[in-house]
A and B are shown apart, each in its own frame.
Chain A
């Protein structure tokens, strides 16, 4: 059963701590994305990666970091520098190829609460 898994579903951290959110896909997709979803603001792109060992900043990358050491995995670290880290984080993946855009497949999300 192919898809995207994110863990954990809920995460609680104290202010000042870094936290890493997991994202794994078995769809053999080249591209992976991290979004942040806040009420009334839609999905905002944090980082994306189109190939292993390469990634690009999205619109709101400050305070976040990523790695892409394997095609299947794209973990996101929320650092203590992120001013407002409490949010719902979504991971997605898509194919790359000759078509300009493929649909994105989304994971179930991780709700991070920082107090």
Chain B
């Protein structure tokens, strides 16, 4: 069965620090990859997605993620975080299983950015 692993459950950074959140998955076939973000008091929303093509994808608010197929990874990065990036971040993997495609979410990483 698929699984998605997010390595850090809690991350605390100061403003302007660089961010990298790890995401690894266990599935050998073709995958579609997502990062979602949940800001305090707001809906869960899409940050970026990868279906095919350039493995480096750019999302909203200066975030990017790199798909490394050989490492089964889709890490999220931002060169310089802001206080407003404080949120919970979820990695999700969509892949074909019996009966169709299924999406599995990671456990989430809570990011707190100190002003």
Residues of chain A within 8 A (CB-CB) of B74 are none
B2 CB, min distance to chain A CBs, angstroms: 11
> Complex Cα distance A107/B36, Å?
13
Contact of B90 among A40, A42, A101, A108 (CB under 8 A): A42
Of A35, A92, A103, the most chain B CB neighbours within 10 A belong to: A103
Contacting pair B9 A40 (CB below 8 A):
yes
Contact of B94 among A35, A101, A108 (CB under 8 A): A101
Closest to B41 in A: A108
> Complex Cα distance A31/B34, Å?
18
Q: Mark B2-26, 1 if CB is under 8 A from A, else 0.
A: 0010100100000000000000000
Contacting pair A101 B43 (CB below 8 A):
no
* Contact A43:B101 (CB < 8 A) given known A106-B43, A106-B45, A108-B43: no
Asked if A66 is at the interface of the complex by the 8 Å CB criterion, the answer is no
Residues of chain B within 8 A (CB-CB) of A50 are 100
Asked if B68 is at the interface of the complex by the 8 Å CB criterion, the answer is no
Residues of chain B within 8 A (CB-CB) of A100 are 30, 32, 51, 94, 96, 101
Q: Label chain B's interface by main secondary structure.
A: strand
A57 CB, min distance to chain B CBs, angstroms: 11
Closest to B48 in A: A103
Number of A residues, CB within 8 Å of B: 21
Number of B residues, CB within 8 Å of A: 25
Contacting pair A101 B9 (CB below 8 A):
no
Contact of B105 among A43, A101, A107 (CB under 8 A): A43
Asked if B56 is at the interface of the complex by the 8 Å CB criterion, the answer is no
Contacting pair B34 A43 (CB below 8 A):
no
Contacting pair A101 B44 (CB below 8 A):
no
> Complex Cα distance A104/B94, Å?
11
Contacting pair B107 A104 (CB below 8 A):
no
By a beta-carbon cutoff of 8 Å, the part of chain B in contact with chain A is: 4, 6, 9, 30, 32, 34, 36, 43-46, 49, 51, 90, 94, 96, 99-103, 105-108
10 pairs of A and B residues whose beta carbons are closest in the complex: A101-B94, A106-B44, A43-B105, A42-B107, A101-B32, A42-B105, A103-B46, A106-B43, A42-B108, A42-B106
